[in-house]
Amino acid sequence: MTKNITLSILLAIMFIIFLGIGLVIPVLPTIMNELHISGSVVGYLTASFALTQLIFSPVTGKLVDRLGRKVIIVVGLIVFSVSELLFGLGRATEWLFLSRILGGLSAALVMPAVTAFIADVTSIQTRAKAIGYMSAAISTGLIIGPGIGGFLAGFGSCVPFFAASVIALLIAVTALLALQEPERQAKTTPGGENSSRKLLQPMFLYAFIVILISSFGLAAFESFFSLYTNHKFGFTPFDIAVAITGGAVVGAAAQILLFERLTRKIGEISIVRWSIAVSIALVVMMTVVTTYWMIMLVTFTVFIGFDLIRPAVTTYLSRIAGDEQGFVGGMNSFFTSFANVLGPVIGGILFDIDLNYPFYFSALVLVAALAVTFFWHKEKPAVS
């Protein structure tokens, strides 16, 4: 199998995963109203997904290096299919929590495995482009997901989840039959060190701190965007789908057209720094705009910064990780999910007090992330 076909399958996997996640965005307010769920409970639902991902990511990252990329991807997709099915069937809060827990497990399995697989089939020179494509696949899933979710919700609020379950199962079968386990990258990091010691190395440490803090702030914003626009501006599922779709289109275009060029010109760390700064300004603007089209304009542009932070950090870590792509992918997922546990919970509590508070909180946390980037300096991987 050629590397292009392999990469296409991996991108399709990421697309399907985030398609399923995107499906819930426009119908979440409807489910919230049907089951009489408060903003705090929505925060706990999101946090249960992230908490499960947090617990299992360090383990699955090591399993990716030990058992192989392919088997972890297939198992993760099957678990994701089951989680979407349960969310569609669940008419009680307990079933929704079980669904999100399984969803978190699937993310902990798939994310580091796909990232490591991509690193194995690309070179240092082509990896930034591949990671950019992966992020674009994620954004495209979020583009189409809300649109499909808003359309399918017209046939019933549970229909989008049944569709995601079937598609995930089909892509799992495709991965099982079509993917071949890749050859591992040559070793480029010092051997003989345990995970905790590698974690404390500055070239890893500052990247993971930025992931933790920025994801914390982004989770508080992203988890409550649909509820915020629904409660404050009366957005319908269609309006929410349009807003998310427009933002994701712009974000995906930035990843495809700008990310590789910016990586070559200013480097990953500078991309992260400028993206956080732009995100702070636009998150604050979201709380002061009032007209429909101004809301849409801010929404379309706020995701540019969000969508460049993640691939920039991922590319940086993949470049310095050498043959420990699973470890780096697992720890990346670990810190992201740790932030996603606390961000939605605090955001949910603040949302019940005042609709604007989660966004103020998000902006303050992103300011802290911006400050950390000034201590983070570019380092080349050591060669053994």
Q: Looking at residue 102, what is its pLDDT?
A: 92
Mean pLDDT of the chain: 77
Q: Using one digit for the tens of pLDDT, what is the confidence trace for 198-229?
A: 656 666 777 778 777 777 777 667 667 777 88
Would you say residue 187 has pLDDT above 80? no
Model-level pTM? 0.64
Distance of alpha carbon 325 from alpha carbon 115, whole angstroms: 8
DSSP character at residue 122: S
> Looking at 17-26, 76-85, 160-169, 310-319, which range is the least confident one?
17-26
**Distance set, CA 143 to CA 71, 149, 161, 291 (Å):** 28, 11, 16, 23
Q: Looking at residue 81, what is its pLDDT?
A: 92
Residue 130 in contact with residue 114, Cβ under 8 Å? no
Q: Looking at residue 190, what is its pLDDT?
A: 43
Q: Using one digit for the tens of pLDDT, what is the confidence trace for 4-29?
A: 788 888 888 888 877 777 676 667 66
Burial category of 352 from C-beta neighbours within 10 Å (exposed 0-12, middle 13-18, buried 19 and up): middle
Would you say residue 79 has pLDDT above 90? yes
Would you say residue 379 has pLDDT above 60? no
> Looking at 105-114, 134-143, 369-378, which range is the least confident one?
134-143
Q: How confident is the model at residue 326 (pLDDT cuts 50, 70, 90)?
A: low
Q: Considering only CA atoms, which of 53, 40, 46, 27 is closest in space to residue 219? A: 46
Average pLDDT value for residue range 232-252: 76
Q: Considering only CA atoms, which of 47, 231, 9, 29 is closest in space to residue 146? A: 29
Q: Regarding predicted confidence, which is higher, 219 or 116?
A: 116
Distance of alpha carbon 173 from alpha carbon 180, whole angstroms: 13
Burial category of 247 from C-beta neighbours within 10 Å (exposed 0-12, middle 13-18, buried 19 and up): buried
Distance of alpha carbon 124 from alpha carbon 45, whole angstroms: 38
Would you say residue 82 has pLDDT above 90? yes
Q: Looking at residue 369, what is its pLDDT?
A: 83
Average pLDDT value for residue range 337-360: 79
Q: Residue 311 has which token pair? A: 């691939």
DSSP character at residue 153: G
Would you say residue 189 has pLDDT above 50? no
Q: Looking at residue 282, what is its pLDDT?
A: 85
Q: Looking at residue 74, what is its pLDDT?
A: 92
Q: How confident is the model at residue 192 (pLDDT cuts 50, 70, 90)?
A: very low
Backbone phi, psi, residue 108, to 5°: -65, -30
Q: How confident is the model at residue 382 (pLDDT cuts 50, 70, 90)?
A: very low
